[in-house]
Structure 1
Amino acid sequence: MARIYISLGTNISPEQHLKAGLLDLQQYFGALQLSRVFESEAVGFKGTNFLNMVAAADTDMSIADVVATFKQIEQANGRIKSEKKFSPRSLDIDLLLYDNTVCALPVELPRGEILFNAFVLWPLAEIAPDLQHPVVQKNYHSLWQAYDKQCQNLWPIAFDFPAELQPSLILSTL
């Protein structure tokens, strides 16, 4: 069984798509551990603010099957395959970590943006503060503490999680 960490982001009907994405993830992966939800300014383009968070789950799926499942969930929530990299998103789901796997294919792991985007690093540090990044060998709490917080605007928000989420859900508050 592998422990996976998942980044979710949306800026098109963000509450609706984030809730739907969480319910879909729970359907495929069971109980989820969730960070708080954060609002952030768009990075790389001018656009409306995003809602972002990180979830953790356990799975027997391969990396390729996990990524394919994420793409299926994105498409079910209105994601268009041909969208530009820096553009509005109905739902963006990325695999950040798959245990301590380091690889380039079928996807880059650990995902590079962990170290560069506050909207990934802060929520990851909430739910896995003592976990070590498998390449830089520092834990996520330390990485977040050292992060230049002036380079990206990000703030936690109140969010009504779907009542249908399993009660074993853990909400962190760092």
Structure 2
Amino acid sequence: MTAVLLGMGSNLNRHDNIRAALDALQEHFGPLQISRVFESESVGVRAENYFNLVVSLESPMRLEALSAWLKSLEDSFGRERGQRRCEQPMDIDILCFGDKVGFFNGIQIPRAEILKNAFVLKPLAELVPDRLHPEEQASFAELWRNYRSEQKLWPIAFEWQGLTISTPDSIEPTQASAD
């Protein structure tokens, strides 16, 4: 079994798509650890705001097989591949796969977006604060404390399987910086 961290996002039918993706992940992999859900402005495209979160799970699959399975799951939500799309029903990225570092059949591990996007790093810092980034050898909490960006994100109220997994801190969006 390999410890895996996944980044998930959706800006189309967000509540339902994220719940359904979490259901599929739990059915396939068993118990999940789930960060709070954050709403964030889109980055790089003009689009509706995204819901983003991080999921931790244990996988018996090899990296390439897991990547293929996740792409199939994304496709089941109507994901269209190719050009960068404004609407994304489901996006699931492998952020970390054990302690692997490098490119493996076109898959970059750890994913570069960890250090670039608040909507990836903030949930990681909350979910697994003491875990070390495999390349930086700094904890996700430490990386978040030192992170600076103009990206805005805010936690939202979110329920899954009758459980509250996320509640808002405030009504107003805040700048992405360590609080």
The TM-score with structure 2 as length reference comes to 0.88
Change (3 A) 1:73 1:131: same
For the 8 Å contact 1:44–1:86, the answer to whether it is kept is no
Q: Which ranges in structure 2 are unaligned for 5 or more consecutive residues?
A: 170-178
TM-align CA RMSD = 2.1
Tell me how far apart the structure 1 counterparts of residues 20 and 90 of structure 2 sit (CA, whole Å): 9
Bigger strand fraction: 2
For the 8 Å contact 1:20–1:77, the answer to whether it is kept is no
Counting aligned pairs with the same residue, the percent is 39
For the 8 Å contact 1:121–1:140, the answer to whether it is kept is yes
How many residues end up aligned between the 2 structures? 168
Q: What's the CA shift for 1:122?
A: 0.4
Change (3 A) 1:86 1:80: closer
For the 8 Å contact 1:41–1:153, the answer to whether it is kept is yes
Tell me how far apart the structure 1 counterparts of residues 95 and 161 of structure 2 sit (CA, whole Å): 23
The one-letter amino acid of 1:87's match is: C
* Structure 1 SS opposite 2:52: strand
Structure 1 counterpart of 2:153: 154
Structure 1 counterpart of 2:22: 22
The TM-score with structure 1 as length reference comes to 0.90
Q: Which has the higher contact order (CA 8 A, sep 6+)?
A: 1
For the 8 Å contact 1:97–1:110, the answer to whether it is kept is yes
Tell me how far apart the structure 2 counterparts of residues 88 and 114 of structure 1 sit (CA, whole Å): 22
1:43-71 Cα offsets, whole Å, 9 max, x none, are: 00111100000000001100001101110
Structure 1 counterpart of 2:97: 98
For the pair 1:69 / 2:55, whether they are aligned, the reply is no
Q: What's the CA shift for 1:86?
A: 5.2
The one-letter amino acid of 1:85's match is: R
Q: Which ranges in structure 1 are unaligned for 5 or more consecutive residues?
A: none
